[in-house]
Amino acid sequence: MPSRGDQWTRTATRIFRTIWQKPNISRVDLADRLGLDKSTITKQVASLIDNGLIVEKEEGMASSRGGRRPIYLAVNKEYGRFIGIEIQLGFYEAVSVDLAGNILATIRGDTHVTRDNFAETVVGVVATLQKQCSEDSLLLGVGVGTAGLVDSKKGRIKYSVPLGIEKPLDFVKAMSGRLQVPSFIENDANCCAWGELAFNREKDLKDFLFALVECRGDKTSLLKYGGIGVGFGVVLGGKVHTGAHGYTGEFRSAFCDGPGDLQFSLSRDELVQLRFDRNLLNRTVDELARNMAMLINTMDFQHVYIGGDIESLDADLPAILRHRLEENWMYPSPKDVEIRYSSLGDKAVAFGAAGMVFERLMAERSLPGLAVEVSQNASRRVS
């Protein structure tokens, strides 16, 4: 049975998350939305304000009888920030994001990452980005997104073809003692899904698919996997679904014949020529669309987001996908599925990695201010 302290933690987390999702919400609306009594809202909001997580804002017009303007609640964006890092073959991209989801700083650079220097690379990127940020802003956590089989629950990279990691890398162990904040690792496509969940306030996202399509022109990528990589982030019931073994989202076309290290049925030589051969490009994009159509129709997703640098190619994946969705659907009534390119752009993985940290800390109820709030209230009850 959960203790009263746990109950207070959950309540504080629900209140904080709701204020984060609905900026400028009143205490009355907050109580109605969460089904909590006003006294609970008053006490919890007061604690969150005392700990600096939220702030009061006077906005709008006063009533016709005069008096103060309505007071609304909002997240204190200056409370702290998250760092999200994308690490891929040959380069990294990193962003610093405040508590309200605003990008404060970005950096990008070349790197030669290996299994042995992976943690060292992450620490170096964090140090470089820290120099661009205000010392007054508290670093809350670091998230890393990369390609391959990643066990995010245990914090391990199991296998990565692009990075040449063939033996498990215990990221959490390798990072132990290097940073003074929590650090997490996740598959790059899953990071993109985390990003949409954490920072997309326009929609109440429950069930959606994020398709990350990356096209690389460097020699190593072309030789290893033909230069095109695809991964899916799957969200069910408002949560990133990782599967029984943590492998959900790994893609290999159903049209591939036999085992192999390529994701499409085309040969390596054909994939290398995608950027220069319109016919090969169309074949590859259509093959991807046919695979996605079966998955989308089977899982009945509400939304489909497409990210990565697929937009740089002269191929309209959303239009091709809509056509294949219609062909794959056997009933007369059309399906209402929104398909769009991700608003996170080329920073989708790094931005999503920052969102993943936010979501993980919220799920674990370990955001610093929330923990302080609970301990303070617990001590009051004891005394």
Q: Are residues 322 and 214 in the same domain?
A: yes
Q: Are residues 207 and 151 in the same domain?
A: no
Q: Are residues 225 and 116 in the same domain?
A: no
Q: Are residues 352 and 336 in the same domain?
A: no
Q: Are residues 356 and 338 in the same domain?
A: no
Element (H, E) at 303: strand 303-308
46 in a domain, yes or no? Answer: yes
| Residue 157 neighbours by CB under 8 Å, 6+ apart | 115, 118, 146, 148, 149, 150, 151, 163, 165, 168, 169, 171, 185
Q: Are residues 14 and 26 in the same domain?
A: yes
Q: Are residues 208 and 297 in the same domain?
A: yes
| Residue 350 neighbours by CB under 8 Å, 6+ apart | 84, 85, 86, 93, 94, 95, 106, 145, 191
Q: Do 143 and 353 contact (CB within 8 A), yes or no?
A: yes
Q: Are residues 100 and 172 in the same domain?
A: yes
pLDDT computed for residue 58 by the predictor: 73
Q: Are residues 31 and 105 in the same domain?
A: no
**pLDDT average per 10 residues of sequence, the chain (383 residues):** 54 88 89 92 92 82 59 90 93 92 92 93 95 79 94 92 90 93 94 87 83 87 88 93 87 93 94 92 96 96 91 88 94 87 85 92 77 41 28
pLDDT computed for residue 280 by the predictor: 95
pLDDT computed for residue 62 by the predictor: 54
381 in a domain, yes or no? Answer: no
**DSSP characters over 158-189:** EEBTTTTB-S-EEHHHHHTTT-SS-EEEEEHH
370 in a domain, yes or no? Answer: no
179 in a domain, yes or no? Answer: yes
DSSP 8-class letter at 53: S
Q: How many domains does the chain have?
A: 3
Cα–Cα distance between 84 and 38 in angstroms, integer?
37
Q: Are residues 307 and 288 in the same domain?
A: yes
Which of 21, 48, 76 is at the close of a domain? 76
105 in a domain, yes or no? Answer: yes
Q: Domain range spanning residue 331? A: 201-342
Question: Phi-psi region for residue 298, left (φ > 0), alpha (ψ -120 to 50) or beta?
Answer: alpha
372 in a domain, yes or no? Answer: no
**238 burial via Cβ count (<10 Å: 0-12, 13-18, 19+):** exposed
Q: What's 21's domain CATH number?
A: 1.10.10.10
312 in a domain, yes or no? Answer: yes
Q: Are residues 22 and 89 in the same domain?
A: no
Which of 25, 59, 76 is at the close of a domain? 76
In 78-162, beta strands by DSSP E: 80-88, 91-98, 103-110, 138-146, 149-151, 156-159
First and final C-alpha spacing in the chain: 23
* pTM assigned to the model: 0.86
Q: Are residues 71 and 99 in the same domain?
A: no
Read off the tokens for 373. 């709030």
Q: What's 353's domain CATH number?
A: 3.30.420.40
pLDDT computed for residue 343 by the predictor: 78
Length of the chain: 383
CA distance to 40, 61, 301, 376, per residue, from 66 (Å):
28, 9, 49, 37
Of residues 358, 356, 349, 351, the one with CA closest to residue 146: 349
